[in-house]
Amino acid sequence: MSNNTLTFVFAIERGTPEPLTEHRTKAAVPFAGKYRVIDFALANCLHSGLRQILVLTQYKSHSLHKHLRDAWSVFNPELGEYITPLPPQMRDGEDWYRGVLDALRQNRYLIERRACDHVLLLDGGVVYRMDYAELIRAHREQGAAVTCALRAAGCEGSAAARVRLQCDAQDRIVDIRHCTADDTDFDAPMGAYLIDKTVLLEEIDRLVESEVGAAAQPDAGPPGIAGADLAMHLLPTLLDKHRVCGYRFGGERGRVTPDRYWSDLDSTDAYFRANMALLESRPPLDLYQPDWNILTYQGQYPPARTVPGPVSGTEGIFVNSMLAAGTVIRGGGVSHSVLFPQVQVDDGAIVDEAILFEGCKVGEGAQIRRCICDKDVIIPPGERIGFDRRADMERFHVSAGGIVVITRGQRL
């Protein structure tokens, strides 16, 4: 199965939430205390036996390239295994990737020279766990030319992600549209598509022409997420010519526990909620299934610990929180929060409902609540953030739900 499938993971767009993608692509955004968003798609590939993976990159890709090097140099090239970042090569022009299908067209030569039957297309900017081996098996059983992974959904999510598909009794996709209030019986694409290599090569030039033409329309709006763009530009023109099927996510097939979790982290508030949900006694996303662990890069840091404050002597405490390696709470208090590696919380500081990225420091007596602090943010002693929305809006990005975002490296 691995030798018959070439995998492309799309990580070309900036994506959301925008305050956190100022210096990195969405696929490289930290998530859940130690991971990057792309780790979930790559872990799915690893556990599904897919070992030839090309990661299409473009927007501010240094952070992502470094992560792929440090975390995912686990495959053996002597066995034909690889995870390779693929920025625009400009082999047939001087254009950057103009869309997801154009990215495939520009790398057509890699598809042509690969002796495979299928090409798996994945959105690297969404979080879920899935056994792609079962998707491939269902594709073969159906005799499909294209199979799209589907999830049950109403009309939630961002406008860019509101694409709905309808299947008949044989799971053949018969309709594709943008979501309206009456589309609750439709399914939503997950950002995972399997297409026969011959079909892709036959159709790619025409598909790209349609994609680029749609983007040039005055009412086109900003680019959507990769998975939604593929649904709108890949599937419609193929419905009348080929067998295009759906594969429903979260069923009995596959080796992943059916938590049915999927999130595109489409806003600051959605990103915050997704991290906070991991602190529930029964979190919606299972990170603890032993035979489906999520791989990532972990620095060689000392263990996380709590110690008494050097002045107050008060014990450092944390309640219902995630603490990554290298974190030290020196007499401060942390509750309902997610702390990435090498975070420091000093004497008397209070951190409540917050997400602190790697290297953040909260000074003595500072108080922060409902905040996201990007990498290397330093909160000075006595600072208060998250208590006065008007004052916070004058200095920081504040989401519609009142979440304060302090951008990377900011020193207050």
In this prediction, residue 211 carries a pLDDT of 80
In this prediction, residue 410 carries a pLDDT of 76
Instruction: Name the strand (E) or helix (H) holding 136.
Output: helix 132-142
In this prediction, residue 225 carries a pLDDT of 77
Distance CA 222, CA 225 (A): 10
- Cβ(85)–Cβ(65) under 8 Å? yes
Distance of CA 81 to the CA centre of its chain: 23
Distance CA 40, CA 24 (A): 17
Question: Can you list the domains of the chain with their CATH numbers?
Answer: 5-277 (3.90.550.10), 305-406 (2.160.10.10)
In this prediction, residue 160 carries a pLDDT of 47
Instruction: Name the strand (E) or helix (H) holding 226.
Output: helix 226-234
| Number of C-beta neighbours around residue 282 at 10 A | 7
Which residue ranges of the chain lie beneath pLDDT 70? 1-2, 154-161, 180-185, 215-224
- Cβ(277)–Cβ(284) under 8 Å? yes
For 251, phi and psi rounded to 5 degrees? Answer: -90, -155
